[in-house]
Amino acid sequence: MSFTSFAFLIFVGILVLIYYATPVRYRWVVLLLASYGYYLQASAKSFAFILLTTVVTFYGALFIDKENSAQKAYLAENKATLSRDEKKAYKEAVAKRKKRILVLVLVIDFGILILLKYFRYYLDVLGIGLFKGDVLIPLGISFYTFQSTGYLIDVYRAKYGADKHLAKFALFVSFFPQIVQGPIARHDQLAAQLYEGHKFRYENLAHGAQLMLWGFFKKLVIADRIGLLVGEVFVDWDQYTGWPVVLAMLCYSIQLYMDFSGGVDIARGVAQTMGIDMTRNFRRPYFGDSLEEF
């Protein structure tokens, strides 16, 4: 179900109606069911992988958070009796246990990503034909993997506590507007908005609709139209020289920006119609002063 399809508009319209018709305390359940429904219709065969990433990351973060809490409580309780060396030894032991879990979860999460998305490609490049047929690539695997591991690392660094509710955390990982093109959000910026439910406000609905329309304009009117020129030159590249090639390269940069930026605007707009303010982390990548800003 593409963001620019009529079916997606119907899906979002029905979801918004059901969301506001549901009691506030259960609105997160509506979002979870909608997100999993969207995912299943798009990538049912790979549904197990997003579940695996969700469960592994949830319990890994929970274990790390318990270690953080236990360390804090133990040091506070025994502050007067422990020597400096004993405190150091205790902290090092806790750090080792936390790091083992962190590394294990990261290996599993990124292992799934690398195996499904990149392993086949590099084998083909090397001429090693171990696999035949199409490779199963889960919808949005890069986005939900980086969002999940970002949360795990934040918990490891004790920036905030771990999520204690598996189903709610599953919503944070799978929230459908951001599953395809982002934006990738931090747990402390998005999770509470997803879980708490929001009362109807006309301003949210209007602002969300405006964002969606702007996103559709970027993708359908600008990116797709520019894509016609770019495709013409890139497909028959040996027929062109000079300024048409330069123009096509410049237009391709604009096409990429408008397509991705439009997708992010649509995602933010859908969320905004339900009172959820998603982080705007894609503005002027080509004018960034560093790779991090890009």
Predicted local confidence at residue 197, as pLDDT: 85
End-to-end CA, the chain = 29
Pick the range with the lowest mean pLDDT from 38-47, 55-64, 127-136: 127-136
Pick the range with the lowest mean pLDDT from 71-85, 127-141, 165-179: 127-141
Predicted local confidence at residue 124, as pLDDT: 60
Predicted local confidence at residue 294, as pLDDT: 44
Task: Give the mean model confidence (pLDDT) for residues 79-101.
Answer: 86
pLDDT tens per residue, range 62-72: 999 999 888 88
Predicted local confidence at residue 290, as pLDDT: 53
Contacts of 206 (CB under 8 A, 6+ apart): none
Stated pTM of the model: 0.82
d(CA 73, CA 62): 16
**Identity of residue 68:** N
Average pLDDT, the chain: 85
For residue 26, CA distances in Å to 121, 144, 147, 173, 278 come to 43, 23, 24, 18, 20
Is residue 111's pLDDT more than 60? yes
d(CA 57, CA 46): 18
Is residue 126's pLDDT more than 90? no
Rg (CA), the chain: 23
Predicted local confidence at residue 133, as pLDDT: 53
Task: Give the mean model confidence (pLDDT) for residues 210-216.
Answer: 93
User: 150 pLDDT band (50/70/90 cuts)?
Assistant: very high
For residue 244, cis peptide bond before it (omega within 30 degrees of 0): no
d(CA 268, CA 280): 8
The percentage of residues in the chain with a pLDDT greater than 90, rounded to a whole number, is 45
Per-domain boundaries in the chain: 6-196, 202-285
Is residue 58's pLDDT more than 80? yes
Pick the range with the lowest mean pLDDT from 77-81, 123-127, 163-167, 249-253: 123-127
